[in-house]
A and B are shown apart, each in its own frame.
Chain A
Amino acid sequence: AQTVTQSQPEMSVQEAETVTLSCTYDTSENNYYLFWYKQPPSRQMILVIRQEAYKQQNATENRFSVNFQKAAKSFSLKISDSQLGDTAMYFCAFRYTDKLIFGTGTRLQVFP
């Protein structure tokens, strides 16, 4: 069975600084997808970034980038130039078939 682990329940970072959120997963599959979702206080789930397992190149979306280490089954999210609006819960998610399996989440607080 696939599992997703986020070992950091809470993180904080000062505005304009960089922060990295960790995620590891366990699977025996070779082709799958990984996602980071953001859930602000409004509770809406917002897709931040996604990575196809067959791609070696790390995905990047503006200030957000991932460090995907397939052999280590690691998928960390780096947020550069943190902004106050980045304050939210961040969920790492794994998808093989149609189901999304979520990690337990990391609460990120950005301080001015």
Chain B
Amino acid sequence: GAVVSQHPSRVICKSGTSVKIECRSLDFQATTMFWYRQFPKKSLMLMATSNEGSKATYEQGVEKDKFLINHASLTLSTLTVTSAHPEDSSFYICSARDTAHGQFLSNQPQHFGDGTRLSIL
């Protein structure tokens, strides 16, 4: 089955550090990937849609300069949390869908990475 690898699984760093999280589709191509943020005991909130070869589309209220997204290939999207502060501590999850089956209204589900727990001290 389709596998999405997310790395690292856990990051602990000092305030002011920039942190990069990678999301890879291992056995399929994904022109679109998604980045979510999940607070403790809360639902997943979509942050942005990552588009291969073009700019990401950010949801309302998400700072694009704080959360930089790059989708340079069909199998890799990265999320960089720039100058991270304690309030950026959260669980970040990426997902991707096999675009070989078409973009819209396909019954192919999104496949999720295992998430990254980010802790800013």
Contacts and interface: CB of A to CB of B under 8 A. Distances in A.
B49 A45 contact: no
Given A43-B114, A44-B115, A98-B32, A91 B109 contact: no
A45 B48 CA distance: 18
A84 interface: no
A98 B46 contact: no
A100 B49 CA distance: 11
Q: How large is the interface on A (under 10, 10 to 19, 20 to 34, 35 or more residues)?
A: 20 to 34
A42 B44 CA distance: 15
Interface residues of B, number: 25
19 contacts: A37-B112, A42-B114, A43-B115, A43-B117, A44-B114, A45-B112, A50-B107, A52-B107, A91-B43, A91-B44, A97-B104, A98-B34, A98-B49, A99-B34, A100-B34, A100-B44, A101-B46, A102-B45, A104-B42
Given A98-B49, A99-B49, A105-B43, 19 more contacts: A42-B114, A43-B38, A43-B93, A43-B115, A44-B115, A45-B44, A45-B112, A45-B115, A47-B111, A91-B43, A98-B32, A98-B97, A98-B103, A99-B34, A100-B110, A101-B46, A102-B45, A103-B43, A104-B43
Interface of A: 31, 33, 35, 37, 42-45, 47, 50, 52, 91, 95, 97-105, 107
